[in-house]
Structure 1
Amino acid sequence: MFRCVYQYFIACTEDRETKNILSHALDLAEQHIKVISGIFKEEGHSVPAGFTDDDVHPDAPRLFSDEFFLYYTEQMAKGALVTYGAILPLTYRNDVREHFMSCISSTMELMNETKDLLLSKGLEVRSPYIPPLAKPEMVKGEHFLAGWLGKQRPLTAIEITHLFANIQTNYFGGTLVTAFAQCVKDEEVKQYFVRGKQITKKHTRIFSRYLQENDLPAPVTWDAEITDSQEPPFSDKLMMFQLNMMSAAGIGNYGTAMSASPRRDIAADYSRLLAEVGLYAEDGAQILINHEWMEKPPHAADRDKLIK
């Protein structure tokens, strides 16, 4: 998928420094495809069909700004690091472990390059600052966990971090589905994207309220980074897959944030919104299945079927 995405991004971008970042990302995607395909073939597994040149239209008009290409790369690198970090401890073969260690190292390099360029261009929005603790303090009483009634304690650093990050990812997702909705061809997929836009607006509003109540700044939206083009740069299949992948990442983000948020009201909101994203992702998976866009992953043998 990323090979197709970055082919289009590179064809559109005008800024030289941004193009260097995008070319680096494309090189990594092609390297990863080559290594993983080699392992699959070596073991006699069929290589996933994935996406082809038919799924990208490099000559399509610009749909996003150069700045959004950098935001996209930063967000995808963050998600990749989480994925690789989760997979690595579960692998046993030395060559597979070495591959994922290499993936982590190269993706960290890409993320740092992207973040440095965003900072140098004044485009990166920093997370809120908090005053340093003068000395260690112990929690006293259950007020630390309370959240619905009475006076609420200030947000902890980790709660702020997750709220800020989840606002950013929702703004990012909202920008992506808005752009996709204005150019997608299939009406069912279009309505699915519109629904996703409404969900991201709702979630950013809820998360932003917590920061505002603590006099903390919230991230800014990226909707201005979309052009008025209605010509799709990607196939409906690729755009649906991209959104379904982001929904899965969002579920993971909310689960992690919920476990790190002692305040009951915040944890309850994460739980409720996680369920909403889960239902949305399930509906997206059904669309992929209905259009025969979802590949069947490797699975255990059906012994009952084999016995018959």
Structure 2
Amino acid sequence: MRMKDLKPLTSSEVGTLWMTYQEKTMLQRFLEYFIEVSDDKEAKNIMTNTHSTIVKYVEVIKTIFEKEGAVIPIGFTKEDIHIGAPKLYDQMFDIMFLRMIKEISMGLHTLHLNMSYREDLVLLYKELTAFTQNVFHTCVEYLQVKDVLPRPPSVTMPKRVEFAKNTNYMSGLNLFSNKRALNTVEVSYIYHTIESNIFGMQMITGFAQVANEPEVKKYFVKGKELSKKIVTDYTQVLLQSDIQPSSTWGAKATDSKISPFSDKLMMYCTSLFTSFGLGSNALGTSFSLRSDLPLLMTSTAKDIFTYGQDGGKIMARNGWMEQPPTMEDRNNLTK
């Protein structure tokens, strides 16, 4: 379909394209650094192929904005990375980072597909979804072969269908009664929270070491402590059901204090992970039936939300928060 035959972009479509552009240019910059410092041929190939495809989609989005007469977002540029910096993370971090970003992207692309009405954008998000799923799968395979991706706890296979006998199935707040064992749905969300925050803690530890601005460094240290608290609290829930969460040996921060990334880039990345944490937490709250779990997850969500807001204030004060396109201010226009 020719561009002139297409209907104008809706506000939702402009917003989702803008978000996609920010996320893709951010990933471009991280991959360019990781590719440069990687000494693993297979990992470098995965990242190089991913990077070249992302560049193509960034150009597609640029073309759409240009055809619509819209300004091209700035996103993140070569000025946001320092290729000559030494390794900030040990081996495997790069592919674990790519896997986590692709996990976030899968959810975003599906959501943005649902918000799109124009044929070219529907096709764009369908392609991005398929591409993202393939990269995610490739990362998982690579990490499992390297034995660096821990698997969730095992469980005895159910032999019969069971139904809750009464409302005691949903109890969990009474200190004087025994809590029922966690079900597999609850374990899946708890484990995912632990896994995500362990990786986030490793990532943000590196950010804290190399941040230039004192308030940014302090913010990253605060984020590391928040992730540590979440991991501790949720691990305790598993241990109460005699479930021992596994851990990974890779993807730790090195002792480098030379930053490969701008503070702006690291702050946006942290903001993206924080938003992802809020979304995952909301899902876990919705599908956990033992009453103590939603209470814990709601408390966690409050802490994550507050942390995210603090980060937004830092970005705004430093001029790092690129604003999404805004609706017309009719009150101002009519003055």
Q: Are 1:190 and 2:220 counterparts?
A: no
**1:240–1:288: 8 Å Cα contact kept in structure 2?**
yes
Structure 1 pair 137–21 and aligned structure 2 pair: CA distance change class (3 A): same
Displacement of 1:144 after TM fit? Answer: 1.0
- Structure 2 matches for 1:1-308, cutoff 5 A? 1-149=26-174, 150-220=177-247, 225-308=252-335
RMSD (CA atoms): 1.2
Deviates further, 164-173 or 221-230: 221-230
**1:171–1:221: 8 Å Cα contact kept in structure 2?**
no
* Cα deviations by residue, 1:61-104 (Å, 9 ceiling, x for unpaired): 01112211111111111111011111111211111011001011
* Cα deviations by residue, 1:31-51 (Å, 9 ceiling, x for unpaired): 221111111111111111011
Deviates further, 44-53 or 223-232: 223-232
In structure 1, the partner of 2:7 is none
TM-score, structure 1 normalization: 0.97
CA separation in 1, counterparts of 2:253 and 2:40? Answer: 17
Q: Which amino acid aligns with 2:62?
A: S
SS of structure 2 residue aligned to 1:245: helix
SS of structure 2 residue aligned to 1:130: coil
Displacement of 1:223 after TM fit? Answer: 7.6
CA separation in 2, counterparts of 1:45 and 1:301? Answer: 14
**1:146–1:263: 8 Å Cα contact kept in structure 2?**
yes
Q: Which amino acid aligns with 1:81?
A: M
Displacement of 1:217 after TM fit? Answer: 2.4
**1:68–1:222: 8 Å Cα contact kept in structure 2?**
no
Moved over 4 A (4+): 221-224
CA separation in 2, counterparts of 1:151 and 1:92? Answer: 51
Identity across matched positions, percent: 30
SS of structure 2 residue aligned to 1:45: coil
Deviates further, 114-123 or 191-200: 114-123
**2:170–2:290: 8 Å Cα contact kept in structure 1?**
yes
**2:29–2:77: 8 Å Cα contact kept in structure 1?**
yes
**1:24–1:110: 8 Å Cα contact kept in structure 2?**
no
Q: Which amino acid aligns with 1:80?
A: S
CA separation in 2, counterparts of 1:31 and 1:207? Answer: 40
Structure 1 pair 222–240 and aligned structure 2 pair: CA distance change class (3 A): farther
SS of structure 1 residue aligned to 2:168: helix
Q: Which amino acid aligns with 1:297?
A: P
**1:18–1:66: 8 Å Cα contact kept in structure 2?**
no
CA separation in 2, counterparts of 1:66 and 1:103? Answer: 27
Structure 1 pair 175–32 and aligned structure 2 pair: CA distance change class (3 A): same
CA separation in 1, counterparts of 2:249 and 2:334? Answer: 56
Structure 2: give runs of 5+ residues left out of the alignment: 1-25
SS of structure 2 residue aligned to 1:202: helix
CA separation in 2, counterparts of 1:222 and 1:300? Answer: 48
Aligned length in residues: 308
CA separation in 2, counterparts of 1:137 and 1:107? Answer: 37
CA separation in 2, counterparts of 1:142 and 1:151? Answer: 14
Displacement of 1:221 after TM fit? Answer: 5.6
Displacement of 1:20 after TM fit? Answer: 1.0
Structure 1: give runs of 5+ residues left out of the alignment: none
SS of structure 1 residue aligned to 2:210: coil
* Cα deviations by residue, 1:135-178 (Å, 9 ceiling, x for unpaired): 11111111111112211111111111111111011111111111
**2:169–2:180: 8 Å Cα contact kept in structure 1?**
yes
